[in-house]
Structure 1
Amino acid sequence: MTKRDERGSASVFIVGMAITLVVVAGLVFDGGGALNARMTLADDVEAAAVAGAQATDEIYAHTNNEFRIDRDEAQDRAEAAMRAQGYSNFQVYVPADGSYVRVTATDTIGTKMLSLIGYNSFEVHATATAEPGIPD
C-alpha cells in the first residue's frame, strides 16, 4: 500500500468551516435585521393607510349618513406619512368610490456580515389597507 499525502486537508476543513460560520452568523444577524426592517415597514405602511383613511368626505357623510374617503386628501395624507418616515418607494391607492386606502411600499436593507460573501442587501415589502369609519 502506498501512503497518501494528507497535508493541507485540515486547512481546507478549517476554511470550509469558517465560511460556513460566516454564512450562518450572517443569516442570523442580517436576517434578524431584515425581519426587524420588515416589521417596521409594515407598521409605517399601516400608519400611513390609517392616516389616509381618516380623510373622510364630511359633506358626503352628513348628507348620506355613510363614511367615504376624500380621495385627494387621503392620497396627500398617506404620502406625507410615508415621506415623514423617510420612504420614497411606495404607492398609495384610493378607489373611485373612496371605500379604502391601500399603501404598498418596498425598502432595501443593507447587509453587514453577508456582504462578506457578496450578498449586499435584502428587499422587504409591505402592504396595508384601511377603511373609513369610527373605530370600535
Structure 2
Amino acid sequence: MRLQLLRDDRGSASVWLIGLSVALAIAIGGAVDGSRKAQAHSRATAIAEEAARAGGQALRAQALAAGRDATVNPEMAATEARNYLAGAGATGVVSVQGNRIVVDTTITERTVFLSMIGIAEHTVHGYGTADLISAG
C-alpha cells in the first residue's frame, strides 16, 4: 500500500521544477534586458546632448579670427550635430529653433533573454538641446 502511494506522486516535482525554472528565466531575462534598455536610454540621451553641444560650437571662425563677434551659423550647427550622430552610430532628428539646437536620437537594442518570448528588441529615444550663443 505504501509503495502504491509513492508511485502516484511520480513526476509532480518535475512539473513544479519546470514551472519554477521558466519563471526564474523570465525574471532574470527581465532584469538583464531591462538594465540593457536603461543603459541604451542613457546612451541615447548622452549622444543627443553631445550632438547638440557639437552643433552649438559651430561658430563663424573667420569672424572670430578677425577679432569680430563670431555668430553661430544655424545650418553649420545642424550639420555638425548630424555629423556627430553619424559618428556615434545613432539616428536622429536635428532642428534649430530660434537660438537653440534640438537633437532627438533613436537607438534600437536587441534583447538577450526576452527574445525567447517574442520581444526581439527595445527602441529608446534620447533628447538634448544646446543654446546657440555667439562669442566675441
TM-score normalized by the length of structure 2: 0.78
State yes or no: 1:91 paired with 2:98. no
Identical residues among aligned pairs (%): 30
Counterpart residue identity of residue 106, structure 2: T
Match of 2:14 among 11, 17, 23: 11
Which residue of structure 1 lines up, in the alignment, with residue 133 of structure 2?
133
Paired with 2:48 and 2:100, the residues of 1 have a C-alpha distance of: 14
Match of 2:26 among 14, 17, 23: 23
Q: Is the 8 A contact 1:69 1:100 kept in 2?
A: no
Structure 1 residue 42, shift from structure 2 partner: 1.1
Match of 1:50 among 35, 39, 53: 53
Structure 1 residue 45, shift from structure 2 partner: 0.8
Which residue of structure 2 lines up, in the alignment, with residue 105 of structure 1?
105
Structure 1 residue 24, shift from structure 2 partner: 0.9
Gaps of 5+ in 1: none
More helix by share: 2
Give the aligned CA root-mean-square deviation in angstroms: 2.3
Gaps of 5+ in 2: none
Structure 1 residue 6, shift from structure 2 partner: 5.2
Paired with 1:105 and 1:68, the residues of 2 have a C-alpha distance of: 26
1:73-130: per-residue Cα shift (whole Å, max 9, x none)?
011000000000111x3100102x3x10000011110011111222111111111111
